[in-house]
Each structure stands twice: as C-alpha cells, then as structure tokens.
C-alpha cells in the first residue's frame, strides 16, 4: 500500500509547516522568549498560525490515510487533499490580530472543515458499503 495521494499532499504541507515553524523560532530571540509569548502580540500571532496548522493538518491527514488505505476513490482524496492544502496556505495570511473577519481566515477554516466532511462521507461509504 503506497498511499501516494495522501503523500502527494503531505509533501507540500511539510513546507508550510516548516515556514510557520521558522516564523516562531526566528522570532523568539528577538523578544528574548523561550516559552510562550510573554505578552508580545506579534509572537502570539506567529505561535497561533503554527498552532492552528498543527491542530488541523495531522487530523485531516490521518483521515486521508484511513480513506486511502481502505480504497476510497481518488476523487474523494484529491478533493480533501486540495482543500486541506489551500486552507493551510490561506489561513496564516487571514489570521490577523486586528481583523477577526479576514476572508482568508474563512477560506482556511472553511476549506478544512469541508475536507473533513468529504473524508467523513468517504469513510462512512466504505464502512457501510454504500
């Protein structure tokens, strides 16, 4: 079992994760903060951008692995993987300190929720035989 479709989406997500991680790590010396944000709003923003990625990405990739390993069709996997990738790229740009309603925040969250819905439907179809 190669899980090639999931891997195809995991690879660019590694680059997004790395960019977000670098954003946090490179800012810590600037603020002289080892753990937490010490009240620095810009550092908190970078931490949350990275944290949101970590909260969503493994969960959706696990669902993709489950679906692909059980024979879900490529269309289901590509829809979910594409939405995950778009969402994880868009979300950091939409997560702003002073704008809770930034459109890219909605794109990021909405596309990831939709990816979960698609994978849930695919998995239910597999489990129930529908």
Tell me the per-residue pLDDT of 28-77, one tens digit each, with 9 for 90 and over. Answer: 999 999 999 999 999 999 999 999 999 999 999 999 999 999 999 999 99
Confidence band for 130, pLDDT divided at 50, 70 and 90: confident
Q: Which two tokens stand for residue 10?
A: 């995991």
Asked if the model's pLDDT at residue 121 lies above 80, the reply is yes
Cα dihedral 38, 40, 45, 47 sign: negative
DSSP category for residue 98: S
Contact between residue 104 and residue 91 where contact means Cβ atoms under 8 Å apart = yes
- 82: nearest Cα among 107, 106, 51, 49: 107
Tell me: pLDDT of 11 over 80. yes
Domains (range + CATH), the chain: 4-128 (1.20.120.550)
């Amino acid at each position: 079992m190669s899980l090639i479709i999931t891997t195809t989406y995991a690879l660019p997500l590694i680059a997004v994760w790395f960019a977000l991680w670098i954003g946090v790590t490179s800012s810590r010396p600037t603020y002289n903060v080892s753990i937490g944000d010490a009240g620095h709003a810009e550092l908190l923003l970078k931490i949350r951008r990275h944290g949101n990625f970590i909260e969503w990405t493994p969960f959706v990739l696990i669902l993709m692995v489950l679906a692909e390993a059980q024979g879900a069709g490529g269309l289901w996997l590509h829809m979910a993987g594409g939405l995950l990738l778009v969402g994880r790229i868009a979300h950091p740009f939409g997560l702003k300190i002073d704008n809770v309603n930034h459109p890219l925040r909605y794109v990021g969250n909405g596309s990831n929720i939709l990816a979960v819905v698609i994978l849930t439907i695919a998995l239910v179809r597999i489990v129930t035989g529908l």
